[in-house]
């Protein structure tokens, strides 16, 4: 999938035969998921990079469950690359053809982190929602599924103002 230019935002159209949902508005994506789902997450990672001015894309569809990388001791080798990405469906899943196709409106990615100064844990690496679907409860509704699945997870920085305020709201409600 391709990100066209600086002003285009496309949503991914999914056929229901490609996925099953864990929660009403979430589609889980792993290294073993169909390529189309992984490409959809990659497109949203490009939008995240573009909007927040990152130097690189946070997710690539070709990622596998093992990556060749350098460990904390400076040694190169195959290391476990544990990630779980999620595609967000709009509230009440707006079916486009009434039967089998629905559009996605964003994605996020959790990665397993092996911290040096803290216990190993999952971390929310990035999240991006289409601007038209922000502040509509999509992330709030998904948050309980995330905490159920990943326990107490870390949210990686830097944070947008909107994410900072969302996390303050979550903290106040707990």
Alpha-helical regions (H) of 27-173: 35-52, 138-150, 161-173
What's the domain range around 28?
13-173
Q: Is residue 3 part of a domain?
A: no
| Residue 23 or residue 125, greater confidence | 125
Strands 26-29 and 83-88: antiparallel
Q: Is residue 5 part of a domain?
A: no
Residue 154 belongs to domain with CATH number: 3.40.630.30
Helix (H, G, I), strand (E, B) or coil at 49: helix
Across 16-20, 28-32, 121-125, 138-142, least confident range:
16-20
Surface-to-core class of residue 85, CB atoms within 10 Å of its CB (0-12 exposed, 13-18 middle, 19+ buried): buried
Counted domains in the chain = 1
pLDDT at 164: 94
For the stretch 31-88, pLDDT in tens is 889 998 999 999 999 999 999 888 989 998 988 766 655 666 777 665 566 899 999 9
Average pLDDT over residues 107-127: 92
Q: How would residue 129 be classed by pLDDT, with cut points 50, 70 and 90?
A: very high
Note whether 136 and 162 are within 8 A (CB): no
User: CA–CA distance from 10 to each of 53, 153, 163, 174 (Å)?
Assistant: 19, 30, 22, 35
Q: Which residues pair with 84 in a beta bridge?
A: 110
């Amino acid at each position: 999938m391709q990100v066209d230019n600086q002003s285009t935002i496309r949503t991914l159209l999914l056929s229901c035969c490609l996925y099953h949902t864990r929660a009403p508005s979430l589609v889980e994506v792993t290294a073993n998921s169909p390529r189309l789902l992984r490409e959809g997450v990659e497109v949203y990672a490009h939008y995240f990079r573009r909007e927040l001015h990152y130097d690189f894309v946070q997710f690539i569809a070709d990622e596998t469950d093992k990556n060749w990388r350098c460990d904390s001791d400076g040694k190169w080798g195959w290391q476990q690359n544990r990630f779980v990405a999620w595609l967000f469906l709009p509230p009440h899943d707006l079916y486009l053809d009434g039967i089998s196709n629905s559009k996605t409106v964003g994605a996020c990615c959790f990665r397993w982190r092996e911290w040096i100064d803290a216990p190993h844990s999952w971390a929310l690496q990035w999240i991006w929602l289409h601007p038209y679907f922000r502040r509509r409860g999509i992330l709030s509704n998904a948050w309980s599924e995330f905490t159920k699945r990943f326990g107490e997870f870390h949210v990686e920085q830097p944070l947008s103002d909107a994410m900072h305020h969302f996390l303050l709201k979550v903290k106040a409600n707990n």
